Amino acid sequence: MSHIMTTHEQNDFLTLTGPATPMGELMRRYWIPALLTAEIAEPDCPPVRVKLLGERLIAFRDSAGRVGVMDEFCAHRGVSLWFGRNEDQGLRCPYHGWKYDTTGQCIEVPSEPAESGFCNKIKLAAYPCVEMGDVIWIYMGPASLTPPKPNFEWATVPATHRFVSKRTQECNWLQALEGGIDSVHVSFLHRHDLRSDPLHVSQGAEFTRETDARFEVIETEGGMVIGVRRQATPGKLYWRITQWIMPFHTMIPPYGDNALNGHAFVPIDDENCMSWCFTHHPARPLSAHELDVMRNGGGIHVNLIPGSFRPVVNKDNDYMIDRTAQKHHKSYSGVKGIAMQDAAIQESCGPIQDRTREDLVSTDNGVIMARQRLRKAALAVAQGFAPDGLDPATHAVRSAAIVLPEGASFYEAAGDALKAKAGVAHASV
């Protein structure tokens, strides 16, 4: 058992991401998934509220198709621009007609003489955007330190090869991330779904049911790889290898030729996060069957309340837990669906988990290392250094699930299986 203890100060350091917090400043150094392209698909479409790292923002696409993400509130009287008119190359406040372009620059103040130049002095905080992988990403850090565009494989494959969704999760971002890098819980929490979910069925899914798991962690340039081994056959071990790319991206080990999956756990505020869910296949379009399953809440995706990103299954209905299914070994947790099993457990810890009460064991080494790595990175940023995980090369990696001889180094033996290669399928068990 680990004797590493987390203090209240350390817990706050890791979990709080608002402006001027150490972790918030770290987060602002990366490109952040902000909204689906489909949310503002057309020029002059209605604006969309976005909340990231405690900041309330508004996103819109102007008449020329340019995307803007800026402060939600008009500089005049603080009215929410969600009520605004998106028209004629800008977003106009309905209260007094002040109008802003996609850079946040005020371009019209109807009540002031044009020759006064007053509107030139008014500019809302706005953030640069890139569109990749059906997602609009924003950068919220210092302009002079803008990193290269992200290079995750799911965002670079043809659109036919990927499916992207997102859902709100009612807990701090860190407890969602820590669930994503904890591969041991799969043997318990998801035990029955590995046999029933069509996007997970494989020989590896059967190996995963083995509860005697051992954990190894290796730091990488962009984050770390986490290897969990279980007995496969005599003399052979089944390894599930998870990638964590700083600060909030995870890549889930695949099951056979099923598509690859990953997450980004992006802070909305300190007590809520957006769980982004990415599914892609490197070498083929996703089938109609796969897409149908995902659109109906299968795999890592969920059904949403119409008009929102809140899951239909949520804490207000006790996650629709089925105690009968749980009792009769049809569901380990009683909660239906892999994604909502994770969310229910993570949310059950409270809005911000009190980590001072934990008793950690050896299989928590990945969680321990991630916390240490995040803390170190945030302190480095405060001292003027660049954090890890900005280099696009560190994004071009894959998770893997492989069978290796006992005694083999999983990281060395996995080799090319952990590298993204355009158009080349993954080879997993």
Verify that 160 and 129 share a domain, yes or no.
no
Verify that 232 and 138 share a domain, yes or no.
no
Mean pLDDT within 24-31: 98
Tell whether 167 is covered by a domain. yes
- pLDDT tens column, 251-274: 999 888 899 999 999 999 999 999
Tell whether 1 is covered by a domain. no
**Selection from 235, 230, 184, 196 nearest residue 210 by Cα:** 230
CA distance 8 to 230: 35
Tell whether 5 is covered by a domain. no
Tell whether 23 is covered by a domain. no
- pLDDT beyond 50 at 2: no
Verify that 409 and 315 share a domain, yes or no.
yes
Contact in structure between 66 and 102 (CB atoms under 8 Å)? yes
- pLDDT beyond 70 at 9: yes
**How many Cβ atoms from other residues are within 10 Å of residue 260's Cβ?**
25
Q: In whole angstroms, what separates CA 74 from the centre of its chain?
A: 30
Contact in structure between 402 and 227 (CB atoms under 8 Å)? no
| Percent with pLDDT over 70 in the chain | 94
Out of 116, 145, 174, a domain closes at 145
pLDDT of residue 407: 87
Residue 350 binned pLDDT confidence (cut-offs 50, 70, 90)? very high
pTM: 0.92
Q: Could you tell me the CATH number of the domain that includes residue 330? A: 3.90.380.10
- pLDDT beyond 50 at 211: yes
Verify that 286 and 412 share a domain, yes or no.
yes
Tell whether 18 is covered by a domain. no
Which are the contacts of 94, defined by CB distance < 8 A and separation ≥ 6? Answer: 79, 83, 84, 85
- pLDDT beyond 90 at 319: yes
pLDDT of residue 1: 39
**Selection from 266, 265, 279, 249 nearest residue 150 by Cα:** 249
pLDDT of residue 329: 86
- pLDDT beyond 60 at 195: yes
Residue 209 binned pLDDT confidence (cut-offs 50, 70, 90)? low
**How many Cβ atoms from other residues are within 10 Å of residue 409's Cβ?**
11
CA distance 355 to 6: 6
Q: Could you tell me the CATH number of the domain that includes residue 53? A: 2.102.10.10
pLDDT of residue 280: 97
Q: Which domain holds residue 217?
A: 153-418
Mean pLDDT within 341-350: 93
Tell whether 358 is covered by a domain. yes
Beta strands in 116-175 (DSSP E): 126-127, 129-132, 135-139, 162-169
Verify that 298 and 369 share a domain, yes or no.
yes
Which are the contacts of 78, defined by CB distance < 8 A and separation ≥ 6? Answer: none
Mean pLDDT within 37-41: 98
Helix (H, G, I), strand (E, B) or coil at 241: strand
Out of 145, 164, 198, a domain closes at 145
Q: How many residues does the chain have?
A: 429
Verify that 195 and 333 share a domain, yes or no.
yes
Verify that 137 and 163 share a domain, yes or no.
no
Verify that 265 and 342 share a domain, yes or no.
yes
Verify that 88 and 183 share a domain, yes or no.
no
